Amino acid sequence: MKLSDRVERVPPSGIRRFFELAEEMDDVISLGVGEPDFSAPWAAREAAIQSLERGRTSYTANRGMRELREAISDHVAARYDLDYDPDDEVLVTTGVSEGVDVAMRALVDPGDTVAVPQPSYISYAPGVIFADGDPLPVPTREADDFKLTYERLEASGAADAGVLITCYPNNPTGAVMTASELEPVAEFAREHDLTVISDEIYADLSYGFDHTSVATLPGMRERTIVFNGFSKTYAMTGLRLGYAMAPPEAIAGMNRIHQYSMLSAPTTAQHAALEALRSCDDEVEEMVATYNRRRNLVLSRFEEMGIDCFEAKGAFYVFPEAPGGDAERFAEDLLHEQGVAVVPGNVFGEGGEDHLRVSYATGTQDLKEAMDRIEAFL
């Protein structure tokens, strides 16, 4: 059976390889997975259970339950100063991953170029390829705290792209960008007429400052598709629910693909998400505070070990330099000798070489034990 060229162009996930190695071993502490160790807040779980007990198992509207879209619109207005009409500017998706995939297919024609800042979430470049586009790496550097700059965009040739995808707070680096730091990126997008796909799934996981969406900057709302969701903030990864916000023509185009492929996002998850927005702010605050304590723990331990690591200020990852420089060798040896799983930075693209992604979305005791093992390994 012959597979398509698109599939052949995309290698298997580099993260998955390390998970498979870890699954074959005993007593492994994983700092590789990008998933909260918390359960979803009880009120959200109870809403999901009640929706099942009441037989709410049918499709919803393609764009998602209107009540949920209204709640999303109210939430982002209050929290991020974003103004979107729930009727024609909000689309509920099966996770942000499906949303980004649909956006790529709605925006990209065969041969179009999409600028992908790296290191970045591993699905972005493959998503461009699956949409028949050509990903253009835009490497960011530790010297700039892995922030995207006008100069990096210009030097990479992003002026010739039609779409730019961004993710801040960033996976895998934990980097963040303030409003003043985003403005030159917005200027570049306006100057070169780029559409921006802004993945803001970690927006609530910012430590010490408020998140700014690039869509709030002058001239950016009309050229930006903003994504957020419930996986990270509300620890609802397995319920697979995200949402897109964009001008009506973009949402209509994305929904046209969404309705033929997914029909609608999972109904049970939508009921859970609605309750999460209504009543789970206290649980979110507790989780964010816990992540921040773990972040400080990991950063301080790496400093004590002499491992260079810039101060990540968002998401739940740090991105230290790999001692010895060979990140893949270091990660494999650490796994086999001490039973700690981390991910080599090269799997996240250009700029990630010689680094490691270390997730602190795991129990504090396990995290302390993992730090002790890493120190012993060194």
Q: Give a three-class secondary structure readout of 138-157.
A: EECCHHHCCCCCHHHHHHHC
Q: What's the confidence (pLDDT) of residue 371? A: 98
Rg (CA), the chain: 20
Residue range 165-206, pLDDT digits in tens? 999 999 999 999 999 999 999 999 999 999 999 999 999 999
Q: What's the confidence (pLDDT) of residue 227? A: 98
The yes/no answer on whether domain 43-279 falls in CATH 3.40.50.300 is no
Q: What gap in Å lies between CA 82 and CA 276, rounded to an integer?
A: 19
Q: What gap in Å lies between CA 326 and CA 15, rounded to an integer?
A: 16
User: Where along the chain do the CATH 3.90.1150.10 domains lie?
Assistant: 5-40+282-377
Which residues sit opposite 341 in a β-bridge?
A: 30
The class of domain 5-40+282-377 in CATH terms is alpha beta
Closest CA to 295 of 168, 201, 203, 205: 205
Residue range 130-173, pLDDT digits in tens? 999 999 999 999 999 999 999 999 999 999 999 999 999 999 99
In the chain, the DSSP E strands lie at 29-30, 90-93, 113-118, 134-139, 163-167, 195-199, 224-229, 242-245, 317-318, 340-341, 343-344, 356-359
> Considering the chain, what percentage of its residues have pLDDT values greater than 70?
98
Q: What's the confidence (pLDDT) of residue 322? A: 96
pLDDT band at 24 (very low <50, low <70, confident <90, very high): confident
Q: What's the confidence (pLDDT) of residue 142? A: 93
Q: How far is CA 162 from CA 101, 136, 248, in A?
A: 16, 11, 19
Whole-prediction pTM value? 0.95
User: Where along the chain do the CATH 3.40.640.10 domains lie?
Assistant: 43-279
Residue range 51-84, pLDDT digits in tens? 999 999 999 999 999 999 999 999 999 999 999 9
